């Protein structure tokens, strides 16, 4: 008889959390999983049938404790602007589960103490990472950079004209599709074996060359705004679509295990 694995997904209606839920439900033959989702409003969650939807969030200790009861693994995202609630949140899963996959941030710099991280987002996420590592849990930190869904912020500007305005247009961004991030998360959540047998994995977010906002610009317009397209970027539009397709295709490799280093050491998973 196959044992059932219970996995709790926090942030289950978010860009990444929803993808994690879908991939966990798809599963593999012979693996029985109970997927539990924590969300503020189950009535509007619109999650697939078969998901055990629980009301609550990380700011509600009682709801979190109830959702964690009986869970074998947890997908943890961080919705707060600082790490203030982190000790209570990280202590909660310690009592019920052995494995946590934390959706951290690419702003975190290795070898830098949380309080010395140069970016506020890096400081808060580094502190949560630190607490998780000290908790005794089997942990995996995912550090993606820019979500592909963030380009939807430009949709209204594209519909209104041929100019997309944004800060730091010359800064390269490694856009990651949320489904690729979820693929790594699911791989880490469903690893089998004794505690600490598998090392923590830190994906090399992006894996390839970043793309600037200036280069993306209205090149995303066909997919974002229902067909509006700047004439000066007509040829580039097709090029960008091709690159996005390659990223999605190659990103599937993120779910494959790489070489296994000694337990407790970080390991980077890069796209092939």
Set out the domains of the chain in order of their start, with CATH numbers: 1-143 (3.40.50.720)
- What's the pLDDT tens digit per position in 135-153? 888 899 999 888 888 888 8
What is the pLDDT, as a whole number, of residue 161?
76
Higher pLDDT, 30 or 54: 54
Measured CA angle at 98 (ends 115, 105), to 5 deg: 35
Report whether pLDDT(226) > 50.
no
What is the pLDDT, as a whole number, of residue 117?
96
State the chain's mean pLDDT as an integer: 75
Report whether pLDDT(170) > 60.
yes
Stretch among 31-40, 103-112, 114-123, 149-158 having the lowest mean pLDDT: 149-158
What is the pLDDT, as a whole number, of residue 248?
40
Report whether pLDDT(190) > 80.
yes
Q: Provide the Cα torsion 239, 241, 244, 250; round to 10°.
A: -80
Model pTM score:
0.74
Report whether pLDDT(166) > 90.
no
| Strand bridging mode 4-10 / 73-77 | parallel
Return the number of other C-beta atoms located less than 10 Å from residue 224's C-beta. 20
Q: How confident is the model over 18-47, as a mean pLDDT? A: 88
In this prediction, residue 215 has a pLDDT band, given cuts at 50, 70 and 90, of: low
Q: Is 118 exposed, middle or buried (0-12, 13-18, 19+ CB in 10 A)?
A: exposed
Q: How confident is the model over 25-37, as a mean pLDDT? A: 80
Percent of the chain with pLDDT over 90: 42
Q: How confident is the model over 109-123, as a mean pLDDT? A: 94
């Amino acid at each position: 008889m196959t044992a059932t694995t219970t996995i709790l997904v926090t942030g289950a209606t978010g860009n990444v959390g929803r993808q994690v839920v879908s991939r966990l439900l798809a599963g593999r033959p012979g693996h029985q999983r109970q997927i539990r989702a924590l969300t503020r409003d189950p009535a509007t969650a619109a999650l697939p049938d078969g998901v055990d939807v629980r009301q609550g969030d990380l700011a509600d200790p009682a709801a979190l404790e109830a959702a964690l009861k009986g869970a074998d693994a947890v997908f943890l995202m961080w919705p707060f602007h600082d790490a203030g609630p982190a000790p209570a949140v990280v202590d909660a899963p310690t009592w019920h589960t052995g494995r946590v996959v934390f959706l951290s941030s690419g702003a975190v710099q290795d070898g830098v103490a949380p309080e010395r991280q140069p970016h506020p987002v890096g400081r808060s996420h580094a502190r949560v990472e630190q607490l998780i590592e000290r908790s005794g849990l089997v942990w995996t930190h995912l550090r993606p950079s820019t979500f592909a869904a963030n380009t939807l912020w430009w949709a209204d500007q594209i519909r209104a004209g041929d100019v997309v305005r944004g800060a730091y247009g010359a800064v390269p961004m490694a856009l990651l599709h949320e489904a690729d991030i979820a693929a790594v998360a699911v791989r880490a959540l469903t690893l089998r074996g004794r505690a600490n047998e598998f090392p923590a994995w830190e994906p090399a977010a992006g894996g390839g060359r970043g793309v600037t906002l200036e280069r993306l610009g209205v090149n995303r317009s066909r997919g974002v705004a229902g067909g509006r397209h700047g004439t000066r970027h007509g040829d580039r539009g097709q090029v960008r679509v091709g690159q996005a397709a390659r990223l999605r295709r190659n990103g599937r490799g993120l779910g494959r295990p790489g070489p296994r280093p000694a337990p407790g050491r970080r390991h980077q998973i890069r796209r092939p």
